[in-house]
Amino acid sequence: MGLLLEGKRAFVSGGTRGIGAAICEVFAREGADVAFNFHSRPDLADEVRGRIEAHGRKALSFQTSVTDRYGMKHIAREILDAWGPINILVNNAAVNKADNFATTTDRSWDWVVETNVGSLFAVTKPFYKQMIRQKEGHILNITSVGAIRSLPTSVHYATSKAAMIGFTKCLSREAANFGISVNAIAAGIFDTDLGNTLPGRLLQMHEFWVSKGRLGKPSELAETAAFMCSDRNSFMNGEIVIVDGGAVT
């Protein structure tokens, strides 16, 4: 069998760090041209583009916020002009802040919810419209087990990730009419900048909590993402796949 994503064109939000960077590299290894956006650190964007191109694939990067609706429309048009329509969209970008609900400020709540939920509209809509015209595509949303289980994470983060599950399930039914699948991965705790913002006591307990006994590697989630966005995954739609190392429920 050939590469999972041979000839595909993907856009990954938040592609310079952790899970996003790993998805960009694995997708390129599996045959996709990959574009991504980032908020800061152009040096990291250069590194990720280099990894994509090392696999013989094309790469584009854009320093644009995932909450910038005009900017995301511009990115979608620019990629369309350069490569043609996107086949794969991965909504990966997210933020978190260690907060107790009683002391969460208005600013902190708005920042987390607007970034993690507002970006779903800003990023998805322009690429979704391209997919509708082509009558094919895969959308993958990276949510969290914190949206499903009672974990000691921040309430605003868990709320935003639960909203992503509702977004996935509802959009999947509409999108199926156009040959588009919409699924999500509920990620456990991975060795990323975001994962390491969790309370220290939770990270210490993690090796006992999951059967694998360690943090996940971003590349491990990226391997699952590649299959879920491939045409070999032809009958899954509206599903939330948990990748968490076998956590006790």
Nearest alpha-carbon partner for 88 in 12, 36, 17, 16: 12
- What is the per-residue pLDDT across 132-162, written as a single tens digit (0 to 9) for each? 999 999 999 999 998 998 777 789 999 999 9
Average pLDDT, rounded, for the chain: 93
Residue 76 belongs to a domain: yes
Q: What integer pLDDT is reported at residue 173 of this predicted model? A: 98
Q: What is the mean pLDDT of residues 59-73?
A: 98
Q: What integer pLDDT is reported at residue 1 of this predicted model? A: 67
Residue 147 belongs to a domain: yes
What span, in angstroms and rounded, lies between the C-alpha atoms of 171 and 30?
26
**Residues designated as active site:** 157
Q: What integer pLDDT is reported at residue 88 of this predicted model? A: 98
Residue 29 belongs to a domain: yes
Cα dihedral angle (150, 141, 170, 149), rounded to 10 degrees?
A: -10
Residue 218 belongs to a domain: yes
The domain in which residue 62 lies consists of: 9-243
Q: What integer pLDDT is reported at residue 123 of this predicted model? A: 98
- Flag whether pLDDT at 50 surpasses 70: yes
Residue 124 belongs to a domain: yes
- Flag whether pLDDT at 194 surpasses 70: no
Would you tell me how many other CB atoms lie within 10 Å of the CB of residue 166? Answer: 11
Report whether 28 contacts 2 (CB < 8 A).
no
Model confidence at 54, pLDDT cuts 50, 70, 90, reads: very high
The CATH number for 28's domain is: 3.40.50.720
**Confidence (pTM):** 0.94
- Flag whether pLDDT at 95 surpasses 90: yes
Residue 158 belongs to a domain: yes
Q: Which amino acid does the sequence have at 156?
A: H
Number of domains in the chain: 1
Question: Over pLDDT 90: what percentage of the chain?
Answer: 81
